[in-house]
């Protein structure tokens, strides 16, 4: 038989069930609210604020505090947000109620805080707050590790219940996961930022290096100081987007200064006299970088000079170029950046370029000085040879003059005078060639050479080395008279070809030099190979032939194959020498040897 419960106890049961239902509802509502809120941000500060706000509301508490465990310092750190103010509290792990919870990993409900020895009332003292009851639970992440503590203070009505403890526990677990995520996100973001910064720094370095590489290769191609200035200015202007650029070489003692201006539009380099004036002169005189954001109102400017450089100029930077001992050598300047002002990055760049350009300019100046010296000493040593060469036309002249004196017929005398004048032409052209060489207008000095003597001396010079390498040297001369070429350079050419041949015939062989004249008549004057009277030098060896892989670019610089320490310049030099003589060089190669043919055109003999 069914047992009837009294009506009162049933009513009480309904109340209890209602309360249980309400509790579950609150838990699920709080979880849902906090969940939605937590999902809305990854910013840690904002997240902590949201958690505290939701917890305070869900538990109808007066306050909530969230401590995060700082493992490195073994303390709990809390940020308390009151109004707009954010304060942080540091608590030693194990200290106070929160510290106790963090250490034990267990929740704690204290009804009368001031009666509990674990409670530390310092914070109350500072804040003027009065803590009555405290409910604190650990925050554990998905690995079950305590990462902090949440505590609520002073329930607004009554005291915290078991239901509250359950809610707080559920919220704390959810908060722990969110905080972990946020921290992870933060560390990933920070790493990302660091990576981006490193990437940017690397890109800047690569950019600088590429620029320097471009500059170095442009400068390496420059044969003269002017080419060098154009190369430096070209790089600097295009990198900094400047309309005009200038390099000034300073005026000092005996040396006049010079200003070289590159126009960005026409790409032409113009040269002007320079007396260390204007902004660019100021950079030289002060040895300091000059920046001007308003050139026309700048006291340091020199109107005629600056007008010459850039008519619409408004901004400029000028950086000194330094000599070997740091003394001013000149300056590099950029004018008129397109559309804006020069930036600090531009300045850094121009300084970098100026440092590199200084070195290149110093080297070029030294090279030019050395070449001048070389040329002078060559002229010195050639002087006796030139005087010797003059003997022939002079003795011819004196012979004709004697004949003229003796000749009675007017026509005869006029014929002799014609011959004398031709000798004077010859002397004048010799003089012209020597002077052109002395002035550096020509890189070769073409003179009349006695072929038998020349090749006799060459044989003597080559033989010892070839002998040692078991290479037989054969020199055959079909032509024994004279020919016109630069003795020193052709000697160098033969040495290069002989060395290559000997290197190719490592087991020994024969190297043959054949000298002949091209006697074909009536060929086109523009192709030296076909030119009548040209000197034809043939060099053959009995080696294995040119390696196939380099055959098509044999005469290019730095092309080398099968040699230890080969620089690949020998044949490039050969080609240059032949070109300076306006001649040609051809090669034919088989597996049993190589033949180089050099043709040097000869002006009709006088
Ligand atoms: N007579 C030859 N027989 C076979 N190969 C040759 C001969 N002459 C030149 N070569 C090939 O051509 C390459 C280029 O010669 P080149 O003289 O320009 O440079 P290199 O001899 O390598 O170096 P270096 O600058 O010291 O002369 C050589 O490395 C060699 O492989
Ligand atoms: Mg060589």
pLDDT digits (tens, 9 = 90+) for 251-286: 877 778 999 998 888 888 899 999 989 999 999 999
Q: Provide the 8-state DSSP code for 275.
A: -
Ligand nearest to the CA of 552: 1
Mean pLDDT, residues 200-221: 78
Distance 29 CA to ligand 1 centre (A): 89
Domains annotated for the chain, with CATH where assigned, are: 21-188 (3.30.450.40), 219-365 (3.30.450.40), 372-438 (1.10.287), 447-600 (3.30.565.10)
Angle at Cα 200 formed by Cα 196 and Cα 203, nearest 5°? 135
Distance 497 CA to ligand 2 centre (A): 7
Mean pLDDT, residues 176-191: 75
CA–CA gap between residue 398 and residue 414 (Å, rounded): 15
Ligand nearest to the CA of 561: 1
Mean pLDDT, residues 40-69: 80
Distance 120 CA to ligand 2 centre (A): 91
CA–CA gap between residue 200 and residue 394 (Å, rounded): 76
Helices and strands, number each (H, E), in the chain: 13, 19
> Looking up tokens 């908060």, which residue turns up?
175
**Environment of ion ligand 2 (residues, CB < 5 A):** 500, 570
Question: Residue 522 — very low, low, confident or very high, per pLDDT cuts 50/70/90?
Answer: very low
Mean pLDDT of the chain: 84
Of these ranges, 32-41, 102-111, 334-343, the one predicted with the greatest mean pLDDT is 102-111
Q: CA 522, 526, 530, 534 torsion: positive or negative?
A: positive
- Percentage of residues of the chain with pLDDT beyond 90: 27
Higher pLDDT, 405 or 498: 498
- Render pLDDT for 480-491 as a digit per residue (tens, 0 to 9): 899 999 988 898
- Render pLDDT for 148-173 as a digit per residue (tens, 0 to 9): 999 999 998 888 888 888 888 888 88
pLDDT for 583 beyond 90: yes
The distance of Cα 427 from the centroid of its chain, to the nearest Å, equals: 54
pLDDT for 410 beyond 90: no
């Amino acid at each position: 038989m069914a047992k009837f419960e009294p009506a009162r106890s049933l009513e009480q049961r309904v109340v209890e069930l209602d309360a249980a239902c309400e509790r579950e509802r609150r838990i699920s509502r709080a979880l849902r609210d906090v969940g939605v809120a937590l999902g809305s941000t990854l910013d840690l500060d904002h997240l902590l604020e949201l958690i505290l706000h939701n917890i305070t509301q869900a538990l109808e508490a007066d306050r909530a505090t969230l401590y995060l465990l700082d493992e490195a310092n073994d303390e709990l750190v809390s940020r308390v947000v009151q109004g707009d103010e954010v304060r942080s509290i540091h608590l030693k792990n194990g200290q106070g109620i929160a510290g106790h919870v963090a250490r034990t990993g267990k929740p704690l409900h204290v009804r009368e805080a001031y009666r509990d020895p674990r409670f530390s009332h310092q914070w109350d003292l500072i804040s003027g707050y009065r803590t009555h009851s405290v409910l604190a639970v650990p925050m554990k992440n998905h690995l079950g590790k305590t990462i902090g503590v949440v505590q609520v203070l002073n329930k607004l009505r009554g005291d915290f219940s078991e239901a509250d403890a359950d809610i707080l526990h559920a919220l704390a677990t959810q908060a722990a996961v969110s905080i972990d995520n946020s921290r992870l996100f933060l560390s990933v973001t920070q790493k990302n930022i660091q990576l981006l910064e490193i990437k940017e720094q690397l890109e800047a370095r690569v950019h600088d290096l590429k620029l320097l590489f471009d500059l170095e290769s442009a400068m390496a191609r420059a044969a003269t100081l002017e080419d060098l200035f154009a190369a430096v200015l070209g790089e600097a202007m295009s990198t900094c987007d400047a309309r005009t650029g200038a390099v000034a070489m300073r005026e000092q003692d005996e040396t006049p200064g010079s200003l070289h201006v590159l126009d960005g539009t026409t790409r032409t380099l113009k040269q002007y006299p320079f007396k260390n004036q204007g902004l660019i002169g100021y950079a030289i005189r002060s040895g300091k970088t000059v920046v001007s954001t308003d050139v026309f109102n700048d006291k340091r400017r020199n109107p005629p000079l600056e007008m010459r450089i850039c008519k619409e100029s408004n901004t400029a930077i000028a950086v000194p170029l330094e000599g070997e001992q740091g003394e001013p050598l000149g300056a590099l300047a950029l004018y008129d950046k397109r559309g804006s002002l020069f930036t600090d990055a531009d300045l850094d760049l121009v300084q970098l370029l100026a440092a590199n350009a200084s070195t290149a300019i110093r080297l070029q100046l030294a090279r030019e000085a050395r070449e001048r010296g070389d040329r002078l000493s060559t002229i010195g040593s050639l002087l006796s040879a030139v005087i010797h060469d003059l003997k022939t036309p002079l003795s011819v002249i004196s012979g004709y003059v004697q004949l003229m004196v003796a000749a009675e017929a007017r026509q005869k005398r006029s014929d002799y005078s014609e011959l004398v004048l031709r000798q004077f032409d010859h002397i004048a052209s010799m003089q012209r060639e020597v002077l052109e060489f002395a002035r550096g207008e020509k890189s070769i000095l073409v003179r009349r050479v006695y072929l038998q003597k020349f090749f006799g001396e060459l044989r003597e010079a080559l033989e010892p080395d070839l002998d040692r390498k078991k290479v037989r040297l054969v020199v055959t001369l079909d032509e024994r008279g004279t020919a016109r070429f630069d003795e020193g350079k052709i000697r160098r050419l033969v040495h290069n070809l002989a060395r290559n041949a000997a290197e190719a015939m490592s087991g020994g062989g024969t190297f043959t030099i054949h000298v002949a004249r091209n006697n074909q008549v009536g060929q086109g004057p523009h192709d030296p190979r076909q030119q009548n009277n040209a000197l034809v030098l043939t060099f053959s060896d009995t080696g294995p032939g040119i390696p196939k892989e380099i055959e098509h670019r044999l005469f290019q610089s730095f092309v080398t194959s099968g040699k230890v320490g080969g620089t690949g310049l020998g044949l490039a030099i050969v080609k240059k020498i032949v070109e300076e003589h306006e001649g040609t060089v051809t090669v034919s190669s088989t597996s049993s040897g190589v033949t180089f043919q050099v043709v040097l055109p000869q002006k009709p003999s006088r």
